[in-house]
């Protein structure tokens, strides 16, 4: 009887580990796939100038309404067949919204190089956090509430700077955003590996948003600090 119970526990442990690996693998695949509509959206946005055509105020309203609307829809459909297409539509939308910054940086003499540097830097941060998440044995769930508070403070400060238009504050917020969202990548991947997050669509959304913010912040910093006019 005891042997049977032990075998069942071992089987459940193997199944649990298999499930965690499956969620992590699907998260990585969907994350990689989400880059395609993001790049496509940014390219279309730069080519058509649709994001730049909107005033900063309207652009902010469209971004906030669209982002939160998509995230609500993703949360509602994360367990259905519609979850992945809606997530990919969201990443396309985010690419279009990113095109204003990308277009501005491309207008600099070394703009293409700055974009590639920001992309490489984001990739390096992701690889570093993914490696750390597989090495660290400690449960990092408690980080979540502090990171969430930090993200909310960044959002509020960013909205305030929309009206203040302070370059010094923008640089400060960009540096803080890189640190906070890099930690979010580690936190979210560790949650999957520890079995706390079992839905790969939700996991992908969290990591994608962090990568998006890291790239955007890096690009803004590079554009401010290293840009050269034509």
DSSP one-letter string for 65-94: HHHHHHHHHHHHHTTSTTHHHHHHHHHHHH
Tens digits of per-residue pLDDT, 77-120?
999 989 999 999 999 999 999 999 999 999 888 888 999 999 99
Q: What is the pTM of this model?
A: 0.88
Place of tokens 């994608």: 208
pLDDT tens for each residue of the chain, 230 residues long:
444 444 444 444 433 788 888 999 999 999 999 999 999 999 999 999 888 888 888 988 999 999 999 999 999 999 998 999 999 999 999 999 999 999 999 988 888 899 999 999 999 999 999 999 989 888 888 888 999 999 999 999 988 988 888 888 989 999 999 999 999 999 999 999 988 889 999 999 999 999 999 999 999 999 887 655 54
Size of the chain, expressed as the number of residues it contains: 230
Nearest to 184 by CA among 156, 209, 215: 209
Quote the strand ranges of the chain, DSSP E: none
Cβ proximity of 151 and 184 under 8 Å: yes
Cβ proximity of 85 and 203 under 8 Å: no
Spell out the residues 6+ positions from residue 181 whose beta carbon is closer than 8 angstroms to its own: 151, 209, 210, 211, 213, 214, 217
Q: Quote the pLDDT of residue 138.
A: 86
Centroid of chain to Cα 91? 10
């Amino acid at each position: 009887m005891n042997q049977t119970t032990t075998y069942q526990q071992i089987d459940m442990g193997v199944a649990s580990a298999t499930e965690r690996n499956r969620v992590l693998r699907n998260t990585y695949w969907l994350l990689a796939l989400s880059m395609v509509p993001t790049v496509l959206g940014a390219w279309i946005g730069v080519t058509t100038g649709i994001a730049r055509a909107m005033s900063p105020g309207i652009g902010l309203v469209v971004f906030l309404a669209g982002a939160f609307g998509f995230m609500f829809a993703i949360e509602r459909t994360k367990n259905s067949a519609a979850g992945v297409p809606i997530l990919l539509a969201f990443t396309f939308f985010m690419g279009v919204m990113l095109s204003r910054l990308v277009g501005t940086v491309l207008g600099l003499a070394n703009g293409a190089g700055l974009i590639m540097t920001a992309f490489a830097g984001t990739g390096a941060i992701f690889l570093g956090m993914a490696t750390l998440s597989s090495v660290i044995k400690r449960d990092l769930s408690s980080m979540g509430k502090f990171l969430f508070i930090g993200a909310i403070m960044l959002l509020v400060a960013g909205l305030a700077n929309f009206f203040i238009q302070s370059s010094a504050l923008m640089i400060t917020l960009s540096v803080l955003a890189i640190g906070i969202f890099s930690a979010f990548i580690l936190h979210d991947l560790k949650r999957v590996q520890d079995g706390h997050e079992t839905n790969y669509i939700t996991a992908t959304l969290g990591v994608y948003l962090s990568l998006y913010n890291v790239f955007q912040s890096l690009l803004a910093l590079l554009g401010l600090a290293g840009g050269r006019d034509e």
